[in-house]
Structure 1
Amino acid sequence: MPEIVPDWGSIFAAGAIELKQGDNEKERDTAGERRWTTLATEAAHLIWKLRCERVIANEGREHSEREVKQRWYATAERRLDLDRRTAAQMDGKKRKQTIYRVEQIWKPLLEDSEDLPEDWVTSCGVLVGIKRGQ
């Protein structure tokens, strides 16, 4: 799968990115496309918020690398929680589709994803967390 270079174009057009998969790369990787769209837009929004904080509230003081990482993980986990709650509130066919999409987007990014129960998307008692980088 070709790697996306995060630049102005790929961020602003995040919802229009087409990723290919397979040996001949003829099939679309819709799960990867949804994952990119979600993560790229959340990251862009966080960058904008951090810049506004730095310029307006912090009088130009830079955020530390640790603070930025913590804010990123918190942002991703909030979005995962929102997607899970949205899926849990759906009914019928839409519920199944939404659960499938949440699984496709988030499962590769979760710690211990192979140990999750089958209903981890809609089960409020199941704690899941984003894989933390080193």
Structure 2
Amino acid sequence: WPKLNWGLLLGCGLARFTSSKGKIIPAMNRFFTIIVSTSMYLIWNLRNTRVLETSTPGSKIEIRNRWVSLMNYALRRDQLLTTQTKFGPLAFKKQLVLKTWSGTLLDEDSRPDDWIQSEGVLVGIRP
């Protein structure tokens, strides 16, 4: 991933990752956008807590848990947005969601290849 700067952070949705052959990798683009925008949201939220409520935002463990919770929410949202019956042609493609989250799931090896409709799928973060 590129070195982060303010321009890249604020324009994370415009970042484009390509293969060695120059082909755009949509899943990596999506995952980068999800991680950066979610992290920026959490930082903004922690800053507001500190400044407006004049309280400490929490310990490192609490902040980590909040971040993992936000990532799990994003994963669950992606799972739900693949529902063809509800969203029809606007539904996310299953393969894009599977590729986006590939390599990030808790106990991924024990999951079926198509875990989209599975309950209890969580993002696995090593301490």
TM-score norm. by structure 1 comes to 0.81
Deviations 1:63-105 (A, max 9, x none): 31111101100000011111111212333x654x522221111
Instruction: Report the equivalent of 1:7.
Output: 5
Structure 1 segment 76-115 matched on structure 2, within 5 A: 76-88=71-83, 89-91=86-88, 94-95=90-91, 97-115=92-110
Question: Which of 60, 63, 75 is the aligned partner of 1:65?
Answer: 60
Distance 2:36 2:96 in 1: 17
Distance 1:42 1:102 in 2: 17
SS at match of 1:109: coil
Structure 1 unpaired stretches of 5+: none
Contact 1:54/1:63, CA 8 A, preserved across alignment: no
Distance 1:90 1:109 in 2: 26
- What is the CA distance between 1:118 and its match in structure 2? 4.0
- What is the CA distance between 1:112 and its match in structure 2? 2.2
Instruction: Report the equivalent of 2:125.
Output: 132
Q: Which amino acid aligns with 2:123?
A: I
Instruction: Report the equivalent of 2:17.
Output: 19
Q: Which amino acid aligns with 1:127?
A: G
Deviation >3 Å, runs of 4+? none
Structure 2 unpaired stretches of 5+: none
Contact 1:109/1:131, CA 8 A, preserved across alignment: yes
Instruction: Report the equivalent of 1:47.
Output: 43
Moved more, 61-70 or 46-55: 61-70
Distance 1:20 1:118 in 2: 25
Q: Which amino acid aligns with 2:27?
A: A
Q: How many residues align?
A: 125
- What is the CA distance between 1:49 and its match in structure 2? 0.8
Query: What is the RMSD of the two structures over their aligned residues, measured on CA atoms?
Result: 1.9
Contact 1:19/1:32, CA 8 A, preserved across alignment: yes
SS at match of 2:82: helix
